[in-house]
């Protein structure tokens, strides 16, 4: 479909008149006028499409946002666009793509993109923070076993407390003190299992992130 220059200018002007924080308005206008927007000059098309893609992210439509990120990344590479409005566009799109995967709870995919970002931009502290976060969300099997042990010990402690209150004083008064010791020991082991498991996982993720960033910095040098 051919659009006259005056029509293209009007279309671009109308799009730019929408408030930047009116995300639903931007999305609605773009999708209703997509053919016309595609007919714009490259800079105008890229400007509109970046705003639309950002609006998708801000409105939590992460599925569509991922599709548009892939399209824009391909466009940026093909057209050799390094920066846009003073910002590294490739970096921005990659990071937003990883963030959408994070919000969709696809942590392994988010992790892969964040690792690529850190390889290219090893001093990106925000990417390192998010890499640590996605690693924290990916629970290893031993952590689930630690949680199961915590639950089992807590349930056993409840049984011991019930016996300590209901049966032991009446029928086995000599066992009151051993039951108290057993109860405290089970509660302590339950809490230790939880705290050691969670803190161990957090430390492991922090060390993995730190080691990966340091390796990326060395490779970049």
pLDDT tens, residue by residue, 120-161: 999 999 999 999 999 998 887 776 677 777 788 788 878 877
Q: Are residues 165 and 216 located together in one domain of the fold?
A: yes
pLDDT in tens, 162-208: 777 777 666 767 766 777 787 778 787 777 777 777 888 889 999 99
Judge whether 184 lies within some domain. yes
Q: Are residues 112 and 149 located together in one domain of the fold?
A: no
Judge whether 169 lies within some domain. yes
Nearest to 201 by CA among 160, 127, 125, 144: 144
Judge whether 134 lies within some domain. no
pLDDT in tens, 39-69: 898 999 999 999 999 999 999 999 999 999 9
Q: Are residues 26 and 116 located together in one domain of the fold?
A: yes
Q: Are residues 23 and 111 located together in one domain of the fold?
A: yes
Q: Give the start-end residues of each E strand in 25-152.
A: 83-84, 87-88
Domain CATH code at residue 73: 1.25.40
Q: In the block, which residue shows the tokens 């209150």?
A: 165
Number of domains the chain is built from:
2
Judge whether 23 lies within some domain. yes
Instruction: Examine the pLDDT at 2 and tell me if it is beyond 90.
Output: no
Roughly what angle, to the nearest 10 degrees, separates helices 62-79 and 42-58? Answer: 150
Q: Are residues 156 and 107 located together in one domain of the fold?
A: no
d(CA 105, CA 101): 6
d(CA 48, CA 70): 16
Judge whether 158 lies within some domain. yes
Judge whether 162 lies within some domain. yes
Distance of CA 94 to the CA centre of its chain: 13
The model's pTM: 0.80
Q: Are residues 103 and 182 located together in one domain of the fold?
A: no
Domain range for 10 is 5-121
Q: How confident is the model at residue 96 (pLDDT cuts 50, 70, 90)?
A: very high
Q: Are residues 99 and 33 located together in one domain of the fold?
A: yes
């Amino acid at each position: 479909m051919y659009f006259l220059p005056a029509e293209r200018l009007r279309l671009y002007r109308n799009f730019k008149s929408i408030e930047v924080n009116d995300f639903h308005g931007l999305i609605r206008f773009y999708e209703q006028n997509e053919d016309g927007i595609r007919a714009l000059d490259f800079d105008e098309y890229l400007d509109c499409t970046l705003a639309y893609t950002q609006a998708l992210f801000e409105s939590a439509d992460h599925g569509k946002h991922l599709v548009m990120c892939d399209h824009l990344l391909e466009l940026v590479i093909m057209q050799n666009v390094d920066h846009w409005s003073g910002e590294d566009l490739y970096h921005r799109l990659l990071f937003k793509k990883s963030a959408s995967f994070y919000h969709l709870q696809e942590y392994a995919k988010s992790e892969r993109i964040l690792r690529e970002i850190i390889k290219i931009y090893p001093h990106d502290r925000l990417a390192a923070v998010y890499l640590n976060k996605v690693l924290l969300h990916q629970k290893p099997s031993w952590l689930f076993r630690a949680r199961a042990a915590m639950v089992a010990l807590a349930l056993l402690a409840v049984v011991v407390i019930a016996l300590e209150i209901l049966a032991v004083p009446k029928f086995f008064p000599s066992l009151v003190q051993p039951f108290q010791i057993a109860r405290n020991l089970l509660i302590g082991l339950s809490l230790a299992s939880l705290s050691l498991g969670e803190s161990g996982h957090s430390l492991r993720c922090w060390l993995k992130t730190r080691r990966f960033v340091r390796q990326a910095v060395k490779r970049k040098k």
